[in-house]
Amino acid sequence: MGRVVVDVMPKPEILDPQGKAVAGALPRLGFDQFVSVRQGKRFELEVEGDVTPEVLDAAQRAAETVLSNPVIEDVVRVADIEADAAATVESEGLA
């Protein structure tokens, strides 16, 4: 079982009310480090076998046609989830 991660974010010129709401809430809760927040979506697509280049190519097409609205959103990443592992371990080390 392989997994592909697809990250979709609102385009920079698009207003992002969810992100604005989070950005407003953070300082009230003691987090004053963050000057702005954008909120997007993360999809994890599971495939039967390995994540081949063909699977990544299909995921890229699905990301652009089904998982995002190209008028208001950008697909910022399509990747084999294994490529994520290092960063995940790194962040878990902070907990």
Contact between 13 and a copy of itself per CB under 8 A = no
21-45 burial, b at 16+ Cβ within 10 Å, e below that, comes to: ebbeeeeeeeeeeeeeeeebeebeb
Residue 72 binds a copy of itself, judged by CB under 8 A: no
Interaction of residue 29 with a copy of itself, rule CB under 8 A: yes
User: Counting contacts by CB under 8 A, is residue 22 touching a copy of itself?
Assistant: yes
Residue 6 · residue 63 · CB < 8 Å: yes
Q: Which of 13, 17, 33, 69 binds a copy of itself (CB under 8 A)?
A: 33
* Residue 74: how many other CB atoms lie within 10 Å: 16
Distance, in Å, from the CA atom of 62 to the CA atom of 46, rounded to the nearest integer, reads 13
Q: Judged by CB under 8 A, how many residues of this single chain contact a copy of itself? A: 53
**Where does this chain bind a copy of itself (CB under 8 A)?**
4, 7-9, 19, 22, 25-26, 29, 31, 33-48, 53, 55-62, 64-67, 75-79, 83-84, 86-88, 90-91, 94-95
